Structure 1
Amino acid sequence: MDKKTLLWVIAFSASLFAVNLYFDYRNQESRELWIKQHQAEINKKIELTKEEISLDKPAGTLNTSLLYEDDALQKPLFKSVSSKGSFLVFREKDARLPEKAFVKIEGKTVPLSLKNNALGEGQLGLYSRDENPLLKIGNLPDFGRYNILFVFPKNKGEDFSTTSASIIDGKLEFPLAKLKNYAASVEKLEALKKDGIPFELLDKPGIALIQVNGSYLPLGLLAAGKEHLQLFKNDPKIDTLIEKVKEKVALTDEEGEKFFVLENKTLQLVFSNRGGSVAEINLPFESESNQESVVKITEFDKEMVSDHPYNARFPAHAFFTPGEKSEGPFVEKEANQIGGYYPLIRRDLIEAGKRKSLQVPPQFYSCNFVSEFPELSTQIYKATYFDKEKIVFEASDGRRRVVKTYTLNESSAPYCFDLQIKIEGEAKGIWLTSGVPEAELISGAPAPALKYRMTKAGTPEVNKIDLPTETSTFSHVNPDWISNSNAFFGIIMDPLTEVDPGFRVSYVDGTIVPSRLVEIGEEFERFKAKDLPGYQTYLPLNSKGGTMNFRFFAGPYSTPILKAVDLAYSDPTTGYNPDYISCQAYHGWFAFISEPFAKFLFFLMNIFYNLTGSWGLSIILLTVALRVMLYPLNAWSTNSMMKMQEIGPKVQAIQQKYKNDQKKAQIEIMNLYRESGANPLSGCLPLLIQMPFLIGMFDLLKSSFQLRGASFIPGWIDNLTSPDVLFSWKTPLPLIGNEFHLLPIILGVIMFIQPRIASPLPKDPALWTEQQRQQRAMSSMMAVLFTWMFYNFPSGLNIYWISSMLLGMVQQWWMTRKKNKSDLVVVDSGSKKKTK
């Protein structure tokens, strides 16, 4: 290779890099502009109109009960309002309040202790079924939006009146029309200001109940003459409520969370009545009885079953299956299936011993609703229809009625299910969730990817989304679909009917929604929850409500699977194709290198796999094929290196002759290189030639699902996309952890030996030139560096690099031997000519 050719290759590569960098910069600018525009919108002051804050008849469970003086229920005292087992009592002037009262609950007479409760005349008191003193006050949450119901006693304690309100970011908002019954006079309503309510206008104290899952729980007290809501703080149940409100998570309902299961050959969907959502998406492993699944078991799956079986149950909790009738009753079953599935989205972590179990908050379930009302994601739905292929959930509150219909049957495309949403009522500002994919490790680190497909001027394009550090909304994009993946698996949300424009992505703290990997080596914190964050994507609903249809792909990003799904949903008459296969598009600075090389390498690997049936052997044969194709370049490089060795003594002689004139020495040495046809850069060229293929192979191992879980040498190389494990131990060591990876050690040894065989130096180091010393030191440093770099790299990448180096050594040995024979023939023929 001459200088012109080499310079052309370098210039061409640099220009491609510059073009890729330019377009990546342009895309980054566009994304930042979208984020700034959204941020400006959400920073605007929210101005509530009467229509927005006016609520219809309050939803939920709110009962009026009679209190009695004796357990025979013959002497009624007065009425109280109750919710969730708590009772609000108002003491009128001169009203007698005994130490103990009785109330009838669900047909049973229950005592209500009023002992030690100094309830003054004209005061409100909150009592529970247990003995409690009067509740103390706390602080109002300063974030989020919550539906509040205020209860006010009427005159003479005969009954209670209610009015609806909202807490928005810590500020109490009343519908003005609702205050007429509670103001001292109609004229004083004119004094009400838009930015607040003078609470002294209320002639009675009131108690605030917060809406949770269609019911109301006691929250605080609104006293006459006070300008702030005061929260109750010493009831353990209410303390728990307040803390979970601060975490934007509501308390569970009295029935508890229920789970329902639909399953086919490629998907196990576990539905929750909380949000009518999908709490688990489990993918069955490939087996002799299930050839439709392509998911292979890995070392993490085996370890979870052997060491953490309580987190390897599928489903994770007791669940219901269809009964004889689709309307119910349904059959309840215990969670006793251990192993057999891969959890696509993060699930509850059930801990044994002293460690605390963690429950995934419902807003991180898949197919749930989230909005500025946190309680929306925890709303309780009722399963109204449930058979082997379909389940229907229904729920309603004061704002909307929702029907969610999930369909999963054997004829569905692999790893796909359908969701139909019907909303009657308010649908504005509601987002549909994807769920948080489990963490998958590539070279010892997670590799999440967020992408979306959109069509501009009839041309589709797939864009990668920078991983957010909080929540980012792209309000000016109309995505065809949005993808949320962990490299090998992912969830594609595809709206099939009209929805509002835009989408949203958010960072999910690994301590709030932890990965199952934190269980692996937990005693030594091998994987820390904070180092394994997740990401969730959201699609907006149609703010007009009505019927909306969505398709979900939830499975492996495998080329054959994605092609099969695209084929199943394609329509030749209209030209429609979901194009899910494009979620495998390459992105990044080196995409112009990695994409063509990775596709070419995978094409060759597929050919060899069809011949051998082994992906490990395919990598080795791929390396052989590349060496054959690149033989001319490698041969040129090897010949140049051998010429450099031949002229080495002449170079040393020139350096010695002109040791006092370095400039002259350099000129003479360059003339010598030119005359002999040697190239001092020839030693670096083989590495430069290999780099595009190395980058391509690295991306190939990150994106080729077929290699995940593929075994080469059982017991040693069990997964080509993760490091080999010769043996392991419990206590982790610095840099190497608790596993010994042999392949990178072999790689380092070969790199250390290779230059010593290729360019042997005199046995006496005193005869080495300075340049030779530097080259020898550099080669040793490279061997150590590559060993460290490749230690946590996938075993498939190590096999490729080791095979390439060994073949290079064989090629050099063969060329050196060939050259030596040629030189011997020349010498012999020359001797014969002389004798003649």
Structure 2
Amino acid sequence: MVYSCSVDKKSYIPFLLLFLGLFALQYFFFGPKVQETTDAPEQTVLETAKEKTEKEWILVAGESSLSRFVLENDLVQLVFLEGTGSICEINLKLKENKKDPSIVLPVAIDKNIIAQSPENDLYPLFSAKVVTGSGESATLAPQKGGYMPLLRRSLKKEGGGLMQIPDEYGAFNLMHNGTVIGGFRVASFTHDTIVFKSGKGIMKSFTLTPAGVTPYILDVEITSSEPLSETTLTSGILEAEFVSNSYMPLLQYLSKNGSGTKLRSLKLPTQKNKKTSSDDINLLWTNNSSGFFGLIQNPVKAIPSKMESEWIQGDKVPSRLTLIDTARDEYPADNFPGYMTRLSLDGLSSIRMHTLLGPLDRSLLKQLDAAFVNQGETSPHLSEARTVTGIFSFLSEPFAKFCFFLMQFFHLITRSWGFSIILLTVAVRLLLYPLNNWSAKSMAKMQEIKPKIDALQAKFKNDKQRLMMEQHMLYKSEGINPFSGCLPLIIQLPFLIGMYELIRSSFELRGVSFIIPSWIGNLAAPDVLFSWSYPIPFIGTGFHLLPILLAFFTYLQQKMSQSKQDKSTMSDEQKQMQTMMVFMPFVMLVLFYKMPSGLNIYWLSTTLLGMLQQELVQRKMRTMKKARK
């Protein structure tokens, strides 16, 4: 419904522009500040994992000369490098069927890699040594498909050649004064644990926890014969991920704040300022996030430390996105710089931490918090990684939580996130119905006295001050508040921002289609009705139907709200307002064209419901008018 803040609706414009301005600010400048239960109702990630698919095992006698070692379970595959004692690959298992315990669904990027660069759809990328469940040493050959990389890894070139990621950019490197500490050798290796030792008295131990107990968790322990000095622990560089059709990495850290905690975002380093750092704090965890995924390093006990970050040029650590549409250079490496965090270990001789390697799913994070508490540890507060931060967090955070609670409830009933968004729209409309109804009645009164207002405008068109005074007296005598129509817009603003934050960055919606497989294949990305090979400016290579439908119904809604009046009798302000209403659908089209389909579904639903409510109000007004006659 279109609300009126004054007789000429002039006050409507600032609030409408405020809506659009907040959208634009969040979308183009501030990135995701969380901004998701799992979409696997048949089996949660904490249930017993299914038997793994047969792999291509090549049994070898004795010790292998390979410098790569693999730990894996039904959710994660980790590839370690001897020498640095670090991780060069973190591969997340994709959900291939309903019984698969993984909660990571394939998206368009995964399908494009399979089609356009199959040589990079291998996991691990190179042969590596493993220990089978029966304790036998074996070599795991690269397997085709079934995973997505969490870390950026080396890229194979078609026809041969390798674009290698330098070892220094792996995860869990120890760096002293900016140089990687090397000399690590494997001291022990089992199917779930690997231990590295160096000649300098440093030991690294990695244990991949069972998928059915604490999923996506790697336990890490580092000990040193002497306290470490000027030494940091790296996170590696996360693979680029699209959030709201944009590359929006996020660096976070959680610290103790009195008896509570405080979440902060670390400013992203840039090409000009290649490093950023937090203050020395009582650190609980750090998070290097790509938006939907993260690598959270969580010391079991809070440590006095700080979080550092580094900007790395995209050409030096190319994303797998650069493999897509290479003929047109669709995704230039420079557009996707890498970000690596470092955790200061100064003064420590030992540290033990839980590390989350994977999806920032609300349900998963809460389950992990509870699991560690049940093991007798303090809560790591991993669920706070989904907390909204940023300039509008005071508005969006509580409403995003409330909206997610409702959406999660509807999902339990419908088993469809698409239907859940529509039902959420209905619920929000019902919650705001008393306010909207009161505003509609006020608007009806405004339309009743419109002839009197027009007469005043004609009589005092050259005396603005007198016109305002006469209008005020008329409003007072009729018992009308001319700004009553603005209140619903103000009240809906937190819901709007909360829904925007929720839908654009909810992991639950990533890769999920609407109702059934259709042209809306990913609620966290724009819908694609059909596509073509050559990009068109702004439009790209895909035709998005939902924003076009949204613009069309926005136009119809504006037409419904316009009163029939001869243009020759319109004031300049009325003509400007009419032009604004005609122009608004184009603004909505531009604003929403590359927004997630889930957000388009929400806004399209609320527009249709608004039109329905508006029609009912207008019918009631016509009935009342006939009754008075």
Residue identity matched to 1:404: K
Alpha-carbon RMSD: 2.9
Q: How does 1:465-476 map to 2 (within 5 A)?
A: 465-469=266-270, 470-474=274-278, 476=280
Deviation string, structure 1 residues 320-377 (Cα, Å, up to 9, x no partner)? 2226996x8x422321x222112111111222269x742111111111122226353x
Are 1:510 and 1:532, in contact at CA under 8 Å, matched by a contact in 2? yes
Question: 2:165 is matched with which residue?
Answer: 360
Deviation string, structure 1 residues 372-407 (Cα, Å, up to 9, x no partner)? 26353xx353334222111222332xxx13332211
Give yes or no for the alignment of 1:531 onto 2:343: no
| Structure-2 change in CA distance of 1:323 and 1:451 (3 Å) | closer
Distance (whole Å) between structure 2 residues aligned to residue 542 and residue 797 of structure 1 = 45
Specify which structure has the bigger relative contact order, considering alpha-carbon pairs within 8 angstroms and separated by 6 or more residues. 2
Are 2:4 and 2:443, in contact at CA under 8 Å, matched by a contact in 1? no
Are 1:495 and 1:550, in contact at CA under 8 Å, matched by a contact in 2? yes
Deviation at 1:278, TM superposition (A): 0.8
Give yes or no for the alignment of 1:441 onto 2:245: no
Distance (whole Å) between structure 2 residues aligned to residue 406 and residue 286 of structure 1 = 25
| Structure-2 change in CA distance of 1:665 and 1:424 (3 Å) | closer
Distance (whole Å) between structure 2 residues aligned to residue 672 and residue 815 of structure 1 = 24
Are 2:286 and 2:297, in contact at CA under 8 Å, matched by a contact in 1? yes
Deviation string, structure 1 residues 789-827 (Cα, Å, up to 9, x no partner)? 111111111111111111011001011112222322332
Question: 2:593 is matched with which residue?
Answer: 791
Aligned equivalent of 1:370, options 175, 183, 186 = 175
Question: 2:35 is matched with which residue?
Answer: none
Q: How does 1:352-431 map to 2 (within 5 A)?
A: 352=158, 357-372=162-177, 374=179, 376=181, 379=182, 381-396=184-199, 400-410=200-210, 412-424=213-225, 427-431=228-232
Give yes or no for the alignment of 1:490 onto 2:261: no
Deviation string, structure 1 residues 199-256 (Cα, Å, up to 9, x no partner)? xxxxxxxxxxxxxxxxxxxxxxxxxxxxxxxxxxxxxxxxxxxxxxxxxxxxxxxx99
Give yes or no for the alignment of 1:706 onto 2:508: yes
Give yes or no for the alignment of 1:695 onto 2:502: no
Aligned length: 567
Are 2:263 and 2:384, in contact at CA under 8 Å, matched by a contact in 1? yes
| Structure-2 change in CA distance of 1:281 and 1:537 (3 Å) | same
Distance (whole Å) between structure 1 residues aligned to residue 286 and residue 176 of structure 2 = 19
Deviation at 1:441, TM superposition (A): 1.6
| Structure-2 change in CA distance of 1:646 and 1:522 (3 Å) | farther
| Structure-2 change in CA distance of 1:727 and 1:679 (3 Å) | farther
Give yes or no for the alignment of 1:819 onto 2:621: yes
Scaled by the length of structure 2, the TM-score of the pair is 0.84
Are 2:94 and 2:148, in contact at CA under 8 Å, matched by a contact in 1? yes
Residue identity matched to 2:172: C
Give yes or no for the alignment of 1:715 onto 2:518: yes
Q: How does 1:248-267 map to 2 (within 5 A)?
A: 258-267=67-76
Are 2:253 and 2:307, in contact at CA under 8 Å, matched by a contact in 1? no
Distance (whole Å) between structure 1 residues aligned to residue 438 and residue 511 of structure 2 = 39
Are 2:285 and 2:297, in contact at CA under 8 Å, matched by a contact in 1? yes
Distance (whole Å) between structure 1 residues aligned to residue 422 and residue 366 of structure 2 = 27
Aligned equivalent of 1:557, options 360, 363, 370 = 360
| Structure-2 change in CA distance of 1:256 and 1:678 (3 Å) | farther
Question: 1:455 is matched with which residue?
Answer: 256
Are 2:233 and 2:344, in contact at CA under 8 Å, matched by a contact in 1? yes
Percent sequence identity over matched residues?
38
Question: 2:610 is matched with which residue?
Answer: 808
Are 2:244 and 2:505, in contact at CA under 8 Å, matched by a contact in 1? no
Distance (whole Å) between structure 2 residues aligned to residue 465 and residue 256 of structure 1 = 41
Are 1:758 and 1:809, in contact at CA under 8 Å, matched by a contact in 2? no
Deviation at 1:478, TM superposition (A): 2.6
Distance (whole Å) between structure 2 residues aligned to residue 289 and residue 259 of structure 1 = 32
Give yes or no for the alignment of 1:331 onto 2:134: no
Residue identity matched to 2:145: G
Question: 2:326 is matched with which residue?
Answer: 522
Question: 1:340 is matched with which residue?
Answer: 146
Distance (whole Å) between structure 1 residues aligned to residue 461 and residue 385 of structure 2 = 61
Q: How does 1:110-259 map to 2 (within 5 A)?
A: 258-259=67-68
Are 1:405 and 1:421, in contact at CA under 8 Å, matched by a contact in 2? yes
Question: 2:25 is matched with which residue?
Answer: none
What SS does the corresponding residue of 2:171 show, helix, strand or coil?
A: coil
Are 2:66 and 2:128, in contact at CA under 8 Å, matched by a contact in 1? no
| Greater CA drift, 764-773 or 277-286 | 764-773
Question: 1:350 is matched with which residue?
Answer: 156
Deviation string, structure 1 residues 124-156 (Cα, Å, up to 9, x no partner)? xxxxxxxxxxxxxxxxxxxxxxxxxxxxxxxxx
| Structure-2 change in CA distance of 1:590 and 1:401 (3 Å) | same
Aligned equivalent of 1:726, options 529, 533, 549 = 529
Question: 2:104 is matched with which residue?
Answer: 295
Deviation string, structure 1 residues 607-664 (Cα, Å, up to 9, x no partner)? 1111111111111111111111111221222233333333333322222233343433
| Structure-2 change in CA distance of 1:456 and 1:629 (3 Å) | closer
Residue identity matched to 1:776: Q
Are 1:499 and 1:543, in contact at CA under 8 Å, matched by a contact in 2? no
Distance (whole Å) between structure 2 residues aligned to residue 701 and residue 408 of structure 1 = 32
Distance (whole Å) between structure 1 residues aligned to residue 330 and residue 100 of structure 2 = 34
Residue identity matched to 2:612: V
Distance (whole Å) between structure 1 residues aligned to residue 388 and residue 461 of structure 2 = 53
Deviation at 1:598, TM superposition (A): 0.4
| Greater CA drift, 315-324 or 431-440 | 315-324
Which 5+ residue runs of structure 2 have no aligned equivalent? 6-10, 19-63
Question: 1:241 is matched with which residue?
Answer: none
| Greater CA drift, 452-461 or 274-283 | 452-461
Distance (whole Å) between structure 1 residues aligned to residue 463 and residue 383 of structure 2 = 64
Distance (whole Å) between structure 1 residues aligned to residue 502 and residue 438 of structure 2 = 29
Deviation string, structure 1 residues 554-603 (Cα, Å, up to 9, x no partner)? 111111111111111115867x2111111222211111100111011011
Largest Rg, 1 or 2: 1
Scaled by the length of structure 1, the TM-score of the pair is 0.64
